[in-house]
């Protein structure tokens, strides 16, 4: 994922792979999901926290980057 993603996959974030965590786009590993490089992405700790925060909605843009918006 480090080679493919080049770092955090959130829009506007330039965190390098060494500062990122693997995130599963489908069912989380902690909830019984499998592990797959194809269905994963790198996120820095800040964005990995946001993607699991119910106060935020996330979408993927046309380039596969994650966009966050605070739920209202």
Q: Where are the domains of the chain?
A: 2-70
The yes-or-no verdict on residue 28 having pLDDT over 90 is no
Determine the pLDDT at residue 8. Answer: 98
Determine the pLDDT at residue 6. Answer: 97
Determine the pLDDT at residue 34. Answer: 77
Long-range contacts of 27-36 (CB under 8 A, 24+ apart): 28/52
Interatomic CA distance for residues 63 and 54, integer angstroms: 24
pTM exceeds 0.85 for this model = yes
Interatomic CA distance for residues 47 and 12, integer angstroms: 11
Are the CB atoms for 40 and 55 separated by under 8 Å?
Answer: no
Interatomic CA distance for residues 42 and 1, integer angstroms: 7
Determine the pLDDT at residue 25. Answer: 86
């Amino acid at each position: 994922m480090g080679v493919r993603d080049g770092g955090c996959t959130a829009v506007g974030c330039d965190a390098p792979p060494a500062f990122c965590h693997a995130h599963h786009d489908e069912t989380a590993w902690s909830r019984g999901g499998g592990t797959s490089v194809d269905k994963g992405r790198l996120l820095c700790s800040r964005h990995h926290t946001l993607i699991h925060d119910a106060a935020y909605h996330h979408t993927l843009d046309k380039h596969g980057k994650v966009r966050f918006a605070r739920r209202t």
